[in-house]
Amino acid sequence: MNPLLCVLLAAGLAWPALAWPAGLEGQPAPALEAKLLDGNPFRLADAAGKVVLVNYWATWCEPCRAEMPAIDAYYRRHRDEGLAIVAVSMDKPSDEAKVREVMKSFAFPAAFVKDVNARGYGRIWRIPVTFVIDRKGVVRKDGWFVDPGIDEASLDAVVTPLLRAP
């Protein structure tokens, strides 16, 4: 076989491994620390015992904006049951006013990606991406894989059982 063809074939077979982050489902959640828009800190370690939803979004992302009302409605209904949410805006720092305006409509907190340390979640190159972490700190939904977006039915299916679990 042609050596160049072998190299191209090997590179092609390796491409999926290079293109997608390793799956986090069933693994301990990587550390996440953020400075929220209101200036308060958010640390995943401090949310131990809560179910945490980490949502990457941007103001210019239509699918992101479409799912945020469902996330907000779910959060308002379940925050007293031990639900925590942090929305990580992928907007440019120059769009801070726009992000703050959008977030006025929602009860859950947000942070700019520049103010977030969450290296273990992979390089965010598409949005929306959502991770759900159970009360024991284990990732139960890894949004990198077959994530059709979030609506109230998907939140009920994925998050509600975690809220009811000890």
Q: What is the CATH number of the domain that holds 104?
A: 3.40.30.10
**Cα torsion 49, 47, 76, 61: sign:** negative
85: in domain = yes
The three-state secondary structure class of 111 is: strand
For 46-86, the pLDDT digits (tens) are 999 999 999 999 999 999 999 999 999 999 999 999 999 99
10: in domain = no
**44: containing domain:** 25-164
5: in domain = no
- If you average pLDDT over residues 100-118, what whole number do you get? 96
CA 31/CA 120 separation, integer angstroms: 7
Domain count, the chain: 1
Q: How many other C-beta atoms can be found within 10 angstroms of the C-beta atom of residue 72?
A: 17
Confirm if 159 and 83 have CB atoms less than 8 A apart: yes
9: in domain = no
Nearest to 24 by CA among 119, 127, 148: 119
Confirm if 118 and 134 have CB atoms less than 8 A apart: no
Tell whether the model's pLDDT for residue 14 goes beyond 70. Answer: no
pTM over 0.75: yes
Nearest to 44 by CA among 105, 90, 111: 111
pLDDT of residue 150: 87
18: in domain = no
Q: Identify the residue with better confidence: 150 or 21.
A: 150
Q: What does the block give as tokens for 26? A: 């069933």
For 29-44, the pLDDT digits (tens) are 999 999 999 999 999 9
Report residue 145's pLDDT band, with 50, 70 and 90 as the boundaries. low
